[in-house]
Structure 1
Amino acid sequence: MKYANTGEFPLQKEWIEKALHWASNHFAYVSYHHHNDISYPHQGFTHVLFAGQHSVAWNDMDAHSGPKAGILSYDLKNKFERLKSQNPSLVNCPETCFFLPELTILFHEKTLEIKSAAPDRLFEEIRDYQPEIVSQKIAPVQVKTSKSEYIQTVRNIQEHIRQGDIYEMNYCIAFEAVVESINPVQVFLDLEKKSPMPFASFFKCQDQYLVGASPERFIKKQGLQITAQPIKGTIQRGKTAEEDANYRESLRLSEKEQAENLMIVDLMRNDLARIAETGSIKVEELFGIYPFRQVYQMISTVTATLRPGTSFTEIIANTFPMGSMTGAPKIKCMELIDRYENFKRGWFSGALGFVDEFGNLDFSVVIRSIIIDTKSKHLFFAAGSAITFDADPAYEYEECLLKAKAIQETLRS
């Protein structure tokens, strides 16, 4: 059922916020995605809300018609390679969580579309819904790696590069906090306001939530075309127009950032080659510079034509996790990540998204995101950067703090 934007309620911000609160209160599983009207190559996420009560195995997706939504933990990598995840969990996330939506709300420019058993009743129920006001009490955030520990670890990683074990590695640090009371929907709305992103996401899996402001796409499939868009290269925004332009130009001309980006582009081309038609892989854009509220990012776009009949399971098994969150070569980097990081990544640096009724799919990389467990009353988030031979450890540490800034501010507000 479609509802026109007559000004009565449908597309007003308040109705959308009520829909999020209502769905989170009524369903075991919720997946909401928003592009925030941000210009992005191949566009950001579709503006959509899914909700349901019934889960489905990630590798059984092709057996179910209709849309599916869900999340893949970084640690799913252990299913595809001889790898382990031996570090302690900060939030004990399920390895995957997918569900079959009973409710879908599509937000168009001037209409919204409700797909459910009783759309008129649901529309009115959301319109009249009054969310419970929760006084949020979150302990101060603690970083699990000190600057001195970080610098020493980076030097250890650089020794592996000198020895030829790897070319670059994505090394991440974690932040955590104890939660006395929290409203994950409100945290999401606050984060989206502070840091709007083309892959903004709110995800609920029973007692666990993901509040996400990701700038990075993992994989998009439209028909037989598949697109990967690795990000490597970050710099802060300036306080004046002149300073901002200087930062942008500095990132655009950075040989170090270009080298990092190119390595991941090559890695993604190699991953896609396993499932693509011979000769179809193209680097559509190399080293594109895109502005976001907090930072500039260097983004490259790689496309290919899938071999007909390639399943969702095959796509994931041959491309997951995103190379920008591992480094190159991929398997050796994932071994070293488990050695040098002090936490189990879980949902962080995994992938979140949905598959539509036609088999098209869109998944983001889980970064700039908070993982919350309302049962254990704990939350964590993480940030990282690419470590190369000539990386400055102190600078890389500051880059991690820059990426975590919007989340830190959101949790303090």
Structure 2
Amino acid sequence: MEQKEPLLSFEFADSNDKINPLTFQNPLRVITAHKIEDVLPSFQLVQEAVEIGYYAAGFLSYESAPAFDPAFRVKSGSSMPLLWFGIFSEPKHEYLNSTGDFTTSEWKPSITMDTYDQAINYIKQCIESGDTYQTNYTIRLHSKFNGDGLAFYNRLKKAQSSHYCAYIHTGEQSILSASPELFFHFHNGKITTRPMKGTVKRGASHEEDTANANWLYHSEKDRAENVMIVDLLRNDLGMIAESGTVTVDKLFEIEQYPTVHQMTSTISAQVSETASLVDIFKALFPCGSITGAPKISTMNIIAELENEPREVYCGAIGYITPNKEALFNVPIRTVLIDHRSGDAVYGVGGGITWDSTSIGEYHEILAKAKVLEESPVEFDLLESLLLDNGQYFLLEEHLKRMGNSAGYFGVNYDAKKIKKNLNDFSYENNSGLVKVRLLLARNGEVTIEGQPITQQGAAVEVVLAGEAVDKSNPFLYHKTTNREVYTKFQKQMPSEAFDVLLWNQDGELTEFTNGNVVLEINGKLWTPPLSSGLLAGTYRDRLIKTGEIYEKTLTLADLKMATKIFFINSVRKWREVHLL
């Protein structure tokens, strides 16, 4: 049963990037505005409530913009409040959890690819004629929702790992915002904004991911896009700032999220003592990162091209405290659910410049919408090490690989702590051969397990996988306890088989489920490259560096040419195998 009373939860980062959970319930009053002429008087009531010691929490829709500047043009037809704020005595410092379930139907775009292409071409014409330098063009994805909105929010939040998440349930509607973007933070007379412009999808491997992030950092298109918005926000802040205090604190920072890398810049200023919260919104709203520049003429283009109102998407969600601190996000990565109809809407878009291409921007949209389908998987990082009479084999290589994966997944990694735990374990297990299982949890907790290694016999049989693996799956490139892709094949292999040889959608050999593969062809030893979709085995890397084996793409046909097949890993080292 969906809750009827308003319930609001914020998980916003403070100035030190520490998440401060606040939950608001049982409002003393709810202030809403459905007409443009009612927005400023309603906002004034919100400000008055804060001035006498209450908290205010809620949102403004994008379509409330003309209240702050009549020159702003927006789409008509929104049924959502333009302004909605609850007034509260005080919040609870707690997270909201849910044990409920939910379902969504397929998310379908509101426009066709042809219409999208026409819109991009029209924006380029407007750029050519000087009406805009950059336009943030967005579309909607629609779905049918059934179940617990809070449960969906918690999944989105985990999938996105954002710093400005919010759940707002008004009774009839729920807003699930997993936004990574700060609109502004106002505290003790200082205001900070952090516009987000520039996106690239995450790579599957550590190497590909690092390359993608570096590409974004050096991308002339994305830098131009970002600096346009920085200039716009500097100008906006200048309307409320004390003279000479507007500062660009950070430029072109790359932030990492589960599905994308984003480029951000940080601008701050000291606000004039006479400026009110309404004055701040008059200067800044809507955020330039989700309009484009120049703001007025670009918003005209948006209103003409977009076929639906944005509503809370691209508006502002946040709270104001009695000590005049205000913290608002830009509601991107945000789902709006109407519980009366079961309709769910997700807005997504990007900044269009002269260098933009329809296909490139559409791929960026798909990357940003991926969060809707992501089901977060709980896992630990894993390394299997050989302990030989108290000495670890390839220890530094294992720790480097774990450190790279920790950076990729955002896992707390303390090399000194891990080494100490390993040394303590080796001190107590200093004789014989032991397979050591090193586990690292997301919070940095270390677990070490060990088991004696039995002598291996002669060559054993392996089988070829009955279907391909998807080489874009990140878990092929990182060793974790999420071994679903491997256990599926292990369950299917016959009892007499030692392991399963995997191959990808391009017909390229990749690896075994527990080790790397080496083929002897014409007297030379070959192993597949990482780009085929496999784990960078530490023993494999050592053999490549010493020139004992070589990398090249191997296909299923190469199996017939191989005179020998080897299974290798850092625990068992070499083992010859035969294909059943």
* Same fold? TM cut 0.5: yes
What is the count of residue pairs matched by the alignment?
A: 361
- One-letter amino acid of the structure 1 residue matched with residue 159 of structure 2: K
Identity %: 30
The yes-or-no answer on 1:281 pairing with 2:252 is no
Residue of structure 2 equivalent to 1:86: 75
Would the aligned equivalents of 2:98 and 2:150 in 1 still touch at CA under 8 Å?
A: no
In structure 2, the partner of 1:69 is 57
Unaligned runs of 5+ in 2: 32-41, 377-580
- Relative distance call for 1:132 and 1:383 in structure 2 (3 A) is closer
Contact 2:54 2:90 in 1 (8 A): no
Report the CA distance between 1:408 and its aligned residue: 3.7
Change (3 A) 1:213 1:68: same
The code of the aligned residue for 2:21 comes to H
Report the TM-score, using the length of structure 1 for normalisation. 0.83
Match of 2:470 in 1: none
Match of 2:213, SS?
Answer: helix
> What's the secondary structure of 2:262's corresponding residue?
strand
Structural mapping, 1:296-311, within 5 Å: 296-311=261-276
Decide whether the 8 Å contact of 1:176 with 1:380 is kept in 2: yes
Residue 99 of structure 1 and its aligned partner are, at CA, apart by 0.8
Q: How far, CA to CA, are the matches of 2:235 and 2:73 in structure 1? A: 23
Q: Which structure is larger by alpha-carbon Rg, 1 or 2?
A: 2
| Residues 88, 342 of structure 1: 8 Å contact kept | no
Residue 60 of structure 1 corresponds to which residue in structure 2? 45
Cα 1:178–1:310 shift into 2, 3 Å: same
CA RMSD after TM alignment? 2.2
What secondary structure, in the 3-state scheme, does the structure 2 residue paired with 1:104 have? coil
Q: Which has the higher contact order (CA 8 A, sep 6+)?
A: 1
Please report how far the alpha carbon of residue 225 of structure 1 lies from its aligned counterpart in structure 2 after TM superposition: 0.3
Q: In the TM superposition, what is the alpha-carbon distance from 1:28 to its structure 2 partner?
A: 2.7
- Report the alpha carbon displacement of residue 348 of structure 1 after superposing the two structures with TM: 0.5
Task: Please list the CA deviations of residues 195-217 of structure 1 after superposition, one character each: whole Å capped at 9, or x if unmatched.
Answer: 21111111112211111110100
Matched-pair contact (CA < 8 Å) for 1:52–1:103: no
CA distance in 1, matches of 2:312, 2:18: 20
The alpha-carbon distance between structure 1 residues 45 and 88, as it changes in their structure 2 partners (threshold 3 A), is farther
Residue number in structure 1 paired with 2:507 = none
Check conservation: 1:226, 1:306, Cα contact below 8 A: yes
1:318 offset after TM fit, Å?
1.3
Q: Does 1:397 align with 2:397?
A: no
* Match 2:118 to one of 140, 148, 152: 152
Tell me by how many angstroms 1:177 deviates: 1.7
Q: CA deviation at 1:61?
A: 2.1
**More displaced, 43-52 or 310-319?**
43-52
What residue number does 1:225 align with?
Answer: 190
* Aligned mates of 2:206, 2:303 — CA distance in 1: 41
Q: Deviations over 1:356-402 (max 9, x none)?
A: 12001110000001001101221101111110011111100110111
2:285 to 313, 316, 320: 320
Distance in structure 2 (CA, Å) of the matches to 1:215 and 1:137: 24
Contact 2:242 2:269 in 1 (8 A): yes
53-62 or 342-351, which moves further after superposition? 53-62
State the AA in 2 paired with 1:99.
G
Q: What letter is aligned with 1:46?
A: N
Alpha-carbon distance between aligned partners in 2 of 1:374 and 1:156, rounded to the nearest angstrom: 36
Alpha-carbon distance, 1:145 to partner? 1.5
Distance in structure 1 (CA, Å) of the matches to 2:15 and 2:219: 21
Query: CA 1:131 to 1:32, structure 2 compared with 1: closer, same or farther past 3 Å?
Result: closer
Give the superposition deviation at 1:97: 0.6
Q: Distance in 2 between matches of 1:331 and 1:44?
A: 35
Runs of 4+ deviating beyond 6 Å: none
TM, length-normalised to structure 2: 0.60
Question: Which stretch of structure 1 is more off in the superposition, 44-53 or 241-250?
Answer: 44-53
Alpha-carbon contact 2:226-2:252 (below 8 Å) kept: yes
Distance 1:212 1:50 in 2: 16
Q: Give the AA of the match of 2:86.
A: F
Q: Distance in 2 between matches of 1:133 and 1:353?
A: 25
SS of corresponding position for 1:220: strand
CA spacing shift, 1:142–1:310, aligned 2, 3 Å = same
Q: Give the gaps of 5 or more residues in structure 1.
A: 1-20, 113-125
Q: Which residue of 1 aligns with 2:9?
A: 32
The one-letter amino acid of 1:338's match is: A
